[in-house]
Structure 1
Amino acid sequence: MRFPIRFDTLGAVVMTPLGLGRRHCHVEVRDASVEVRLGWGFIASIPRSSIRSATLLPRTFLSRGAHGWNGRWLVNGAGDGLVTLTIDPPARARVTGIPVHLRELIVSMESPEGLVTALSPVD
């Protein structure tokens, strides 16, 4: 299942000319992995078994893009519609081609509830 990353007007205006617009940004949930892409700016392939939780984050951020440090990253085109993924063991990601570790990922989603449901354990 592919879920588009959410963009507001500010995010679209700033990021689309850089090749980071809606068309290139998504979270794809597969049987064994979850792929997160913000165009060429952020790419991660996370083993499904490493995702410990996916929760709605009821707050907003002013920044847009891919930002983080020490394993905690925010990947967003909007300040709201946020989902937090807790990852253990940490996964690898690339930010502008540079490898980073990923322990927590906050991502803005068009359908945050849909992503949380897709990543919920099946009983």
Structure 2
Amino acid sequence: MTHAQFSIRFDGWYEFLSTLLLLPPSTSYVSISRDLVEVRMGWAFSARFPRTAIASVASLNRPPVSRGVHGFAGRWLVNGSGRGILTLDLKPAQRGYVMGFPVRLRELQVSLERPEDVSAMLLSRADT
């Protein structure tokens, strides 16, 4: 595997709102290469960390009410939808940026168009 990019999932109403805020779905993705994972939601959020920092990957069973980028104490949610959310546990904690300000990432939840494909790729160690 060399590189794959997956779209962050957006609900229709939030796609409209986020586009007004200059956060269109086209700038929101998870990119996975052999060694690195990059998560981006336009100007609002970015993170880049080694695949080896992912301790576990799980589906979120209860959908959050909120949309956007928010978090506290190392737990961050980056979503445009309440569906298709994967939780990445990161060990050690990694660095992310919210509106350009550095934040600590222990847990990252991301809504994805194809969460099962992202999960399978992240859990695959054959290519690392």
- Indicate the TM-score class for this superposition, using the shorter chain for normalisation: over 0.9
Question: Greater shift after overlay, 51-60 or 106-115?
Answer: 51-60
Of residues 102, 105, 115, the one that matches 1:102 is: 105
The answer to whether structure 1 residue 81 and structure 2 residue 79 are counterparts is no
Q: For residue 70 of structure 2, what is the aligned residue in structure 1?
A: 67
Distance 2:122 2:69 in 1: 22
Distance 2:88 2:22 in 1: 25
Normalised by the size of structure 1, how large is the TM-score? 0.96
Distance 2:5 2:100 in 1: 23
Shift of residue 121 of structure 1?
3.4
The answer to whether structure 1 residue 32 and structure 2 residue 35 are counterparts is yes
- SS of the residue aligned with 1:15? helix
Q: Percent identity?
A: 45
Q: For residue 113 of structure 1, what is the aligned residue in structure 2?
A: 116
Question: Greater shift after overlay, 93-102 or 47-56?
Answer: 47-56
Distance 2:14 2:47 in 1: 20
Question: Greater shift after overlay, 22-31 or 113-122?
Answer: 113-122
- SS of the residue aligned with 1:119? helix
The answer to whether structure 1 residue 11 and structure 2 residue 25 are counterparts is no
Distance 2:82 2:66 in 1: 7
Ranges in structure 2 where 5+ consecutive residues have no aligned partner: none
Structure 1 residue ranges, 4+ long, deviating more than 6 angstroms after superposition: none
Distance 2:26 2:124 in 1: 29
Ranges in structure 1 where 5+ consecutive residues have no aligned partner: none
Distance 1:10 1:53 in 2: 31
Contact 1:65 1:76 survives alignment (8 Å): yes
Q: For residue 25 of structure 2, what is the aligned residue in structure 1?
A: 22
Query: CA RMSD of the aligned region, Å?
Result: 0.9
Equivalences, count: 123
Shift of residue 10 of structure 1?
2.1
Distance 2:122 2:86 in 1: 11
Normalised by the size of structure 2, how large is the TM-score? 0.92
